[in-house]
Chain A
Amino acid sequence: MGSNMAEAHPVGFQWVMEAKARGAKVFHIDPRFTRTSAHADQHVTIRAGTDIAFLGGVINHILTHDLDFREYVTAYTNAPYLLSERYQDTEDLDGLFSGYDPYTAAYDASSWSYASVPMEEQPGRLLKEVSAPYQHGAGGPFIEGAAGGIESDPTLEHPRCVFQVLKRHFSRYTPEMVERICGVPQELFQEVCRAWTENSGRERTTALVYSVGWTQHSVGAQFIRAGSIVQLLLGNIGRPGGGIFALRGHASIQGSTDVPTLFNLLPGYLPMPDVTHEDLTTYLDGVRGRGQKGFWGAADAYMVSLLKEYWGDAATAENDYCFDYLPRINGDHGTYRTVMDMVDGGKVFGYFLLGQNPAVGSAHGRLQRLGMANLDWLVVRDLAMIESATFWKDAPEIETGEIVTERCRTEVFFFPAASHVEKAGTFTQTQRMLQWRDKAVEPSGDQRSELWFFHQLGVRLKERLAGSADERDRPLLDLAWDYETEGDEPSPSDVLRHINGIDLRTGRTVDGYLDLKADGSTVCGCWIYSGVYANETNQSRRRTSRFETGPYDAEWGWTWPLNRRVLYNRASADPQGRPWSERKKLVWWDAEAGEWTGRDTPDFEKHKPPDYKAPAGASGIEALDGDDAFIMMRDGKGWLFAPAGLADGPLPTHYEPHESPMRNLLYGQQGNPVRKVYGRPDNPSNPAPPEAHSEVFPYVFTAARLTEHHTAGAMSRQLPYLAELQPELFVEVSPELAAERGLRHLDWAHVVTSRTAVDARVVVTDRMAPLRVDGRVVHQVWMPYHWGPTGLTKGDVVNDLIGVVADPNVFIQESKVLTCDVRPGRRPRGPALLEYVADYRRRAGITTETGTRIATAGGHIERAHIEPDRPEEPS
C-alpha cells in the first residue's frame, strides 16, 4: 500500500518476484494500476488518502472474528494495559479524542495515558508549537513509571484495556463503510482480509510495504500506525517474512535521517534541545526519563559521547560537555516554514541547496522559487545545472512577470559537485545497511565533494573568527575539526571512525554502543552507527560475496544496529524463548549456553533469560523483563495504542484529506484536527466539505514517480538514455473521465488547482478506473512529477499544483492527494495564467481562510488558522 515498488524500486522488486515464484500472494492496493499491479495477484483500486479507513476495516475484521495472534498480542503488545478513565475516544467525541483544544487545534495528550501512570496535563498550544513527537526523537515519549509495572488485564476483557478500546474505536469500520469511503467493493476488501489473516500466525507471516504514498499525507504518521497495528495484531513484527518495509527513495535518505540533516534531530535520533532544556541533565531527563524501560536509558552515554566528538577537549564534565553550545529549537523549523519565512523577507538571508532541487521537487514550487528570489544569497551544489540555480532567468514566474531577472536581488553561487564515483563514503540503504563506496576516479575541474566543501568552509570560518572574544563564536572556535586528511579533504574513513566512536583511553574504535560511556572517556558521532568501525575495521566496506555467506549475509556491508537484520527479533520467539514455529525460527534462547542465539544478531541482551523479571526500581536496560521484546519502547511493548507521543491521537482515525471531494462519513470531524495549515494568500487551499464549492475541483489528484526518471529530474532529465524512455510530461486519466471532460489520447490538457495550472499530454488508459464512493462516481487523476523548464525533456512543474499542508507529527506535506480540475487544451500563458487561476479561486469562493477551519466535529466550525498564527487566548 502506498508503494509502487516495481517502478520505484525495480531491483528490490526482484525479491517480490522471487517470493511470488515460491507461492507468495501479492496484493497491490493503490489508486491506479501500475507496473507493480501488473505482477500482483490482486489489484485493489483505492481512493487516494483513505488508507486508514481500509486498514481500520482490516483491524475491525481481525478483532470481530478473533483472528489476532493472541499469544503474541498478549505477551508483546500493550493490548492488556488499562487506560485512564479520562480517556475519551473518537467514538465519544465525533472524531476527536479527549484533550482537544479547537482554539489552538492541538491536543493535551495527558488523558491518553495508562491508568496507573497518569501524565501531567500540558497545554495544547505548546504541543502544537513544539511538535511533541519530535521532542522525543525516535525513543517515543515517556510512560512515567513504565518500568514499575502497569495495570493490566491479561484476559483482554476489561473495558478500559487497550484491546477493548481498539475494538470499539474501529467497530464502525465495516466492509460496508470501507466500500463507501474507499470505493473498494466489499467482496474485494474481504478477500484482502482473508488473505492477510490466513497468511499470518505461528506458521506464516505477511510483509507490508509502503513508501511515500503513505508518508505524504496530513495523516501520514497515522497511516503507518494503522499498518503497524494490523501487523502487531497478526504477529508479523520481529519475525522472518513479516515486518513493515518503508521503501525509501534516495541513495542515503535513511542515512540522512540517522545522521540527520533535519532541524529537530541530532545524530542517532537524539532530539535537538529546545528552550526548556536548561542544562544537560534536564535534556537527558527528557530523553531517557525516569523509571523508563529500554535502551534509551543509556542516552547519557550517547549524548556525552556526541558532545565529546563535536567539541573534543573543550567538552568537559565541568562545562556540561559544552551542552550550552547547542542551538535551541522552539517550534516548526521545517523546510516549508523556512521557505515561507524567505518569502516574507527579513528572516532568512542565505540558503544552501545540496543535491536538491526544490524549485521542481518540493511541494508548491512557486512558493519555493519566490522564496529563493527573496534571499541575499543562494549556494547550489549539484552535478548538473538545475532549475533551483537558474530560477532568476527561467522560472515559470519569469513568464508571468512575478520574477523579473533585472530586479531579482539573489546572489547565486553554483558549485559543481563530485559524483558518487568521485568520492568515497557510505550510503545507508532502505534496510539500514551502510555500504561503503571506494573512490574510482578524481573529480575534474572545480568539482568537489561535500566533505571537501564543508571542511573548507569550516576552516575558513574558523580563520575569520580566530581571536574572537564573542561568546557566540565559541562553539565554532572550539569545534573539533581536525580529521585526518586524504589529499586536500578530510578522510571519509576517519570521519566514519569518529561516527563509530573511539575510546579516548586506548585511541581505538569502540565495538558498539554498549561500550559508550557518559564520563567523557568515549567519543561517538552517532550511537546507532557504533560498531560500523569495530575493531578498527571499516565494516561497511565488507563485500563478502552472497555466494559465500548464509541467508542473512552478515558480511556484506554493515546494518545498524550492531549488524542486525530484523529489528525486535526477540519477538520471533515465544515468551519462553522458543521459536513460534520451526518454519519461522529466527532467534531463540539456548538454555544450555544461557544465551540468545539464531540466524540473526539477537535484538536482546545476550544473556538475559526469557523468564527474567526486572527488580523493583530498575530503569533503562536493566528494567527490561525477559519478554519485553520491544526493547526501545518505554514499556518494552509494541504499541497498539500510543499513550503519548503523537500529536493527532493515540489511535489512527480516518480523516478525509485536506482537499477532498466528500464529507467524512464516519465522524463530524472532517480532516485531521491537528494538521498544520498555513493560511496565507500565497498558499490557498481548494475547499473541502463542509465548506462549499468543492465541486469546482471535482477530481482527486495524486502524483508519483516513473521508473525512468529520478525525483526532480536533475539525475535523469539530463541523460539522453533516460529522457528518451519517458520523454514528456503526461497526465493519466480513465476512459470515463476522458469522456466526461472531452480529453483525447495524446492531445494536450491542463490540470488546475487553486495554486496554478499545468500542461501535460493526455494519456487515456484503462489502468485508471473511476470509483463509486458513497453512491457517487469519483475520478482520480495521476501525474508523474519529474519535469521542469530545463533538461533534454522539459515540462511544467507538477509540484506547483500542490499547496502546503502538513502532518502535525513530522511536518511532511500532503502531496499524495489533493483535488483538481482537468480541462482539454493548453493552459493560458504568461499573466493570463494568473488571471485564469484567480478565476477558479473566485468561483470556488477561496479566501485565505479556506481549509483552515480545521475543527469540524459536532457540527461546529471553529476559527480559521491563518498567518500570522498568534491566537489570542480565549477569554
Chain B
Amino acid sequence: MGVKRWLDAWPVFRQLTGTDPLGRGKAAQSARSAGLGSRTESADRVAGSVCPYCAVGCAQRVFVKDEKVVQIEGDPASPISRGRLCPKGSASKQLVTGPQREQRVLYRPPYGTAWQELDLDTAMDMVADRVLDARRKGWQDTDEDGKVLRRTMGLASLGGATLDNEENYLIKKLFTALGALQIENQARI
C-alpha cells in the first residue's frame, strides 16, 4: 500500500483535508461501507414463490446466489400481499436454510433406541414392500352384506395442507388405486 493511499484511508487525514472537518460522515466512511450493496442486487437469479405458512398466499421473491438462497422477501407486485410478510413469512429463509433441516433418511427399527442412517433407495424399497404388506393385511373385498368394498383399511395417511396441489393429486390418485381410503389432512382438523 502506497503512502498516499494509506493516508487516504486514514479518516483523520480525510477529515482534515475533505469536506467533513468534524470527521463524522464522508471522512469516517470505511472502505467496506463505501463498497456496500444489497445481496439481492448481486444475486444470480430470483424465483417467484409463495409463502408456505398460512393461507393468505403472500408472494415471495427468492434470491439465489451460487445455488444458495440468500434472501426471501415479499413481492410488491402481488395484489394479495403488496410485498409484505408477517414474522413467519419473514423467517422463510431461516426455514429453508437453517440447521434444523434434515438432510438424510433416518430409520428406527422396531424396538430400537436410536436413529440409524439409511440409503434413500433402500428406504424407498422397504416402504414399497411395507405398503403392499399392510394393504394385503387390511384388504376388504365386501362388507357383511356382500356389497363391494374393494379397499384396504391397512394403511392411512395424514397431511397435505402444506403440500402442492400437484402433489396432493398424485397422493390421492396413488392411494385410491391401492384401495386405501384413510387419506386425510389438516382440513378436517
Contact = CB atoms under 8 A, between A and B. Distances in A.
Given a CB threshold of 8 Å, the question of whether A touches B is answered with yes
B163 A428 contact: no
B166 A426 contact: yes
Given A251-B52, A275-B143, A716-B88, A11 B81 contact: yes
Measured as residues with beta carbon below 8 angstroms from the partner, the interface class of chain A is 35 or more
Contacts of B155: 348-352
A255 B150 CA distance: 27
The 7 closest A-B pairs by CB, nearest first: A429-B57, A354-B159, A425-B164, A445-B103, A327-B151, A545-B77, A440-B47
Given A327-B179, A416-B105, A438-B49, A479 B174 contact: yes
A350 B84 contact: no
A385 B165 contact: no
Given A352-B159, A449-B167, A556-B78, A416 B131 contact: no
B128 A464 contact: yes
Contact of B48 (A381, A433, A492, A543): A543
A355 B163 contact: yes
Interface string B62-74: 1010011100100
Contacts of B32: none
B159 A353 contact: yes
B158 A353 contact: yes
B22 interface: no
A363 B180 CA distance: 23
A11 B114 CA distance: 42
Contacts of B127: 377, 379, 413, 457
B147 interface: yes
B10 interface: no
Contacts of A476: 177-178
Contacts of A490: 166, 170
B123 A415 contact: yes
B134 interface: yes
Which of A327, A333, A543 has most chain B Cβ within 10 Å? A327
Interface residues of B, number: 119
Interface string A376-415: 1101011111000100110000000000011111111111
A454 B161 contact: no
Contact of B91 (A11, A416, A543, A719): A719
A267 B172 contact: yes
B130 A426 contact: no
Given A454-B174, A479-B173, A416 B101 contact: yes
Given A259-B165, A333-B181, A414 B105 contact: yes
A263 B55 contact: no
Given A262-B184, A543-B75, A715-B53, 8 more contacts: A14-B81, A255-B164, A330-B147, A351-B158, A363-B189, A377-B134, A457-B127, A722-B91
A736 to B, nearest CB: 32
Interface stretch (A62-70, A807-815, A817-825): A807-815
Interface stretch (B1-9, B34-42, B92-100): B92-100
B55 A249 contact: yes
B27 interface: no
B113 A450 contact: no
B95 to A, nearest CB: 6
A263 B184 CA distance: 6
B55 A272 contact: no
A439 B47 contact: yes
Contacts of A384: 100-102
Contact of B111 (A408, A446, A496): A408
Which of B45, B126, B182, B184 has most chain A Cβ within 10 Å? B184
Contacts of B111: 405-409
Contacts of B100: 383-385, 718-719
11 contacts: A252-B164, A275-B148, A335-B158, A384-B102, A392-B108, A414-B106, A429-B56, A433-B57, A475-B179, A556-B80, A725-B87
A301 to B, nearest CB: 19
A499 interface: yes
B86 A356 contact: no
Contacts of B24: none
B177 A479 contact: yes
B172 A253 contact: no
B134 A349 contact: yes
Interface string A329-346: 110011100100110000
B182 A383 contact: no
B50 interface: yes
A8 B95 CA distance: 18
A426 B98 CA distance: 24
Interface in A290-333: 310, 324-330, 333
B23 interface: no
Interface in A541-599: 541, 543-547, 549, 553, 556-557
B176 interface: yes
A78 B55 CA distance: 33
Given A251-B57, A414-B115, A422-B96, A461 B171 contact: no
Nearest to A475: B177
Contacts of A261: 157, 159-160, 163, 168, 171-172, 183-185
Contacts of A828: none
Contact of A263 (B165, B181, B186): B181
A335 B181 contact: no
B159 A355 contact: yes
A347 B166 contact: no
B140 to A, nearest CB: 9
Contacts of B79: 546, 549, 553, 556
Contact of B160 (A355, A422, A719): A355
B128 A457 contact: yes
A460 interface: yes
Contacts of B105: 413-416, 446
Given A411-B109, A411-B110, A421-B69, A253 B186 contact: yes
A720 B91 CA distance: 9
B150 A327 contact: yes
A350 B134 CA distance: 6
A461 B108 CA distance: 23
B62 to A, nearest CB: 4
A600 interface: no
Given A411-B110, A413-B126, A457-B131, A256 B86 contact: no
Which of A259, A409, A414 has most chain B Cβ within 10 Å? A259
Contact of A327 (B126, B156, B165, B176): B176
B20 to A, nearest CB: 37
